[in-house]
Structure 1
Amino acid sequence: MQTRKLGADGPEIGAVALGTMNFVGAYAAGDPDEALRCMARCLDLGINHFDTSNVYGKGRAEELLSGFLKTRRDQVVLASKVGITREKERPFNNEPDYLRDCLDASLKRLKVDHLDLYYIHRRDPSVPVEEVIGQMARFRDEGKIRAIGLSEIAPATLERAAAVAPIAAVQSEYSLWTRLPELGLVQACARHGAALVAFSALGRGVLTDAPPQPDDLREGDLRRGMPRFDAENYPRNMERIARFADYAHEIGHSAEAVALAWLLSRAPHVIALPGSRSSAHMEANAKGGDLVLTPGQLAEIETLLPVGFAHGARYNRAMSRGPEAYC
């Protein structure tokens, strides 16, 4: 497993991380026992950065993690997030008191005394980012968190935030399926010594050997509302992705391993954050953290899946309210 630094002064972690949203049914029903097996297998594979949030399963993901961390806390670089409320009137809240209450609740659910990394999950435009980062810095000084992160922000927001306190990581959707971060965010993270943690690194499952079929997506699956998965766009998208998967097999690897290896080739501060529900999935993903593609292979992938190939927006209108636009 390749390693990456989590911020300029942060720990070395596996280049592939574990996202826990799928443990609690974001796409399909979760299996707590398999989730625990998955976490144990990840550590065996060199995947030691686990990412969660207070809103995943309304806190159930953090509670599930607590059972594993009871005996393995010192082996895990742990991140959680705050800022999404799930309330119609105010979907995002970055008020200092709210952040503190949520942090204390997360620590209680996780049964830990600190987080290694704490993200603002979505920006609340009613609170200046300087005030938000000032509060996060106080949490750091109190020992409740080790480092500060931001998610789904514009490069300009990172510039403002980094003027207040060091930012260790920025999360953004980034993969062969979604390449918007290349238009400024990858570069801004490099300037400020922040890791770019690429969530949905496998395009919400499409860049794998077993891509989802829209007719099989259960009620409540987030992808049902995403334009790229609708009846008009999905067949067009999968036509290209099938050719990519065929090429991955031709060079002796799974689609997911090649997709993650491509992502990690983009910059030395990029960390791949695919979600998973099973140890088998993470074993396949871990191979992407070992694989180094040749220049010729990278060029062929660019031909098969050129930037902008995907039909449809990544989010519908409601989902688009949180991420900051910058291009």
Structure 2
Amino acid sequence: MQYRTLGKTGYNVSSISFGAWAIGGTWGEVSEDDAMSALHRALDLGVNFFDTADVYGDGRSERLIARLRRERPEPFYAATKAACRLDPHEAGGYNAQNLRGFIERSLQNLDTDTLDLLQLHCPPPEVYGRDEVFGVLDGFVQEGLLRAYGVSVETVDEALTAIRHPNVSTVQIIFNAFRFKPAEELFAVAREANVGILARVPLASGLLTGKMTPRSSFASDDHRNFNRHGEAFDKGETFSGVDFETGLQAVDELRPLVPEGMTLAEFALRWILMFPEVSCAIPGAKNAAQAEANARAADLPPLNEETMRGVAAMYDRLIRPQVQDLW
């Protein structure tokens, strides 16, 4: 496993970390035994950063991570997200009372006194420009409820607005071979501001594993079935906003670029790590085998320039017209 510094937090985090959405919910049924096996195997392999949210399984994901901490002596970082529980999810709800309530609930779920990292969970765009919201978070840091805070965003513009606030430590954003815009417009600014980048949806909801076909089907409670057009939340969270059929075509064009001995999923994760501004990629895992497959990518050799150009050419031809101007 390789490690990188996570922005202003100073945390030394595994370059392949663990995204805990899949073990919480909306990815089909995952048993508690399988979820815990995935968490334990990730920790075995040097993963020391686990990303969750209070809405993943209504706290289930947070509670599973708390169980991991009770069962293992090794220290690790647990990041969570808050405020997506607001109903309605409006900017006015981002106040001290509501945020404190969400934080206290996550502290209870995670069985801890202080959150390693709290991220605002894809708030309405106007929240990013409100100094008072970030002032509230500063107060929670001073109070000892948080060690650090950041934002989880949908768009590059939201990220750029957020990091103008001096104590934003991290930005979590969708970044993969189907989402080039962060590398083009965000990463240099984040590096200058010492803001860590968490690359979420690194495998484009599984498209970049290369295991899907036109006949692939998904459970009724899997967002890849019910959110392809943004019916439940931002459509960019499902297949990175790429049309499924176009995504399959793009995957076919990537296959010849994959070095011998690498799987397509490993290739997709290693591609992300070619960008030094990325502190870590956070693929999900539903079982131990998936956690192990993800972790292998951290120790693969760098991709060469010809390969990187090939990925860029695929993106420009097939993907850029669909996603570049939306997020």
Q: Normalising to structure 2: TM-score of the pair?
A: 0.86
**Bigger mean CA offset, 197-206 vs 235-244:** 235-244
1:226 aligned to 2:228?
yes
Q: CA deviation at 1:36?
A: 0.9
How far apart in 2 are the matches of 1:145 and 1:211? 40
Structure 2: distance between partners of 1:156 and 1:28 = 32
- Match of 1:271? 280
Q: For residues 19 and 63 of structure 2, what CA distance do their matches in structure 1 show?
A: 15
Identify the range of structure 1 (103-112 vs 36-45) with the bigger mean alpha-carbon deviation.
36-45
Are the equivalent residues in 2 in contact too, given 1:94–1:124 (CA < 8 A)?
no
Asked if 2 retains the 8 angstrom alpha-carbon contact of 1:54 and 1:80, the reply is: yes
Count of aligned pairs between the two proteins: 313
Deviation at 1:301, TM superposition (A): 3.0
| Structure 2 residue matching 1:47: 3-state secondary structure | coil
* Corresponding residue for residue 311 of structure 2: 301
More off after superposition, 15-24 vs 270-279: 270-279
Is the counterpart of residue 256 in structure 1 residue 255 in structure 2?
Answer: no
Aligned AA (2:228):
M
Helix, strand or coil for the counterpart of 2:209?
coil
AA of the residue aligned to 1:239: Q
Q: Where does the alignment leave 5 or more consecutive residues of structure 2 unmatched?
A: 230-237
Per-residue deviation at 1:158? Answer: 5.0
Q: Which residue of 2 aligns with 1:69?
A: 69
Tell me the amino acid that sits aligned with residue 140 of structure 1.
Answer: V
Q: Give, in angstroms, the shift of residue 41 of structure 1.
A: 1.0
- The equivalent position to 2:246 in structure 1, one of 233, 236, 240, is 236
- In 2, are the aligned partners of 1:83 and 1:99 still within 8 Å (CA)? yes
For the 8 Å contact 1:34–1:278, the answer to whether it is kept is yes
Correspondence for 1:106 = 106
1:279-290 equivalence runs, <5 A: 279-290=288-299
Question: Given residue 14 of structure 1, which amino acid in structure 2 is its aligned partner?
Answer: S
On the 8 A contact 1:23/1:30 being kept in 2, the answer is yes
Deviation per CA, 1:43-87: give whole Å up to 9, x if none.
121111000001111111112222111143752111000121263
Q: Contact between 2:156 and 2:182, CA under 8 Å: does it hold in 1? A: no
Q: Which amino acid aligns with 1:81?
A: K
- Structure 2 residue aligned with 1:11: 11
1:159 deviation in Å? 5.7
Q: Deviation per CA, 1:254-310, whole angstroms, max 9, x where unpaired? A: 11111111111123434211112112112111122112212233233334x324623
Cα offsets for 1:189-211 (capped at 9, x unmatched): 11211111110001110111423
Q: Which amino acid aligns with 1:202?
A: L
* TM-score (norm: length of structure 1): 0.86
- The structure-2 alpha-carbon separation of the partners of 1:239 and 1:157, relative to structure 1 and needing over 3 Å to count, comes to closer
